[in-house]
Amino acid sequence: MTQEATEEKQTKPLLPFIKVPDNYPDEEAYIWGSKCSDCGSQFLGERLACGKCGGQTFEEVRFSDEGEVYVFSVVHQGVEEPFVGAIVDLKDGPSVRATISGLDPAKVDAGYRDWFGTKVKMYIEKVATDREGNDVIAAKFKVV
């Protein structure tokens, strides 16, 4: 099997609220969303109607890559190593469900209350390759 030189691989986000800029990876991917023009509520990704006021006009916003752990749990899932899954409150933004790296799941299990409010920062990681050979990226968070 030969690959055409002109066939360019793309980088695709695993979830739709991750924006991959045209000049990626020179510019890092980021979390984006919609801000209601009427009441200012913010949502991840695209939104057709505001859940708070019913407004239908939105402004596209880029959210901070910093946040705080709101709730989390250690996820034990079949063959995969246990990992820490959390809901992160983005600074000046909505919350996002994500994996937290840099936390030892065993330690989290042992003393979980201490981790609420932990400051975290987003990073982008390649998590898979799709059938066309494109990189699939996801947003994860690490403790700062």
CA dist., res. 82 & res. 75, Å (int):
5
61 binds Zn ion (CB under 5 A): no
CA dist., res. 105 & res. 107, Å (int):
5
49 binds Zn ion (CB under 5 A): no
CA dist., res. 17 & res. 30, Å (int):
8
Whether the CB-CB separation of 35 and 44 falls below 8 Å is answered with no
Strands 11-13 and 135-143: parallel
Which is closer to Zn ion, CB of 34 or CB of 99?
Answer: 34
53 binds Zn ion (CB under 5 A): yes
Residues 13-42 that bind Zn ion (CB under 5 A): 36, 38-39, 41
50 binds Zn ion (CB under 5 A): yes
59 binds Zn ion (CB under 5 A): no
Whether the CB-CB separation of 106 and 121 falls below 8 Å is answered with no
Please choose, out of 2-10, 53-61, 98-106, 118-126, the segment that lies near Zn ion by the rule CB under 5 A. Answer: 53-61
Give the binding site for Zn ion (CB under 5 A).
36, 38-39, 41, 50, 52-53, 55
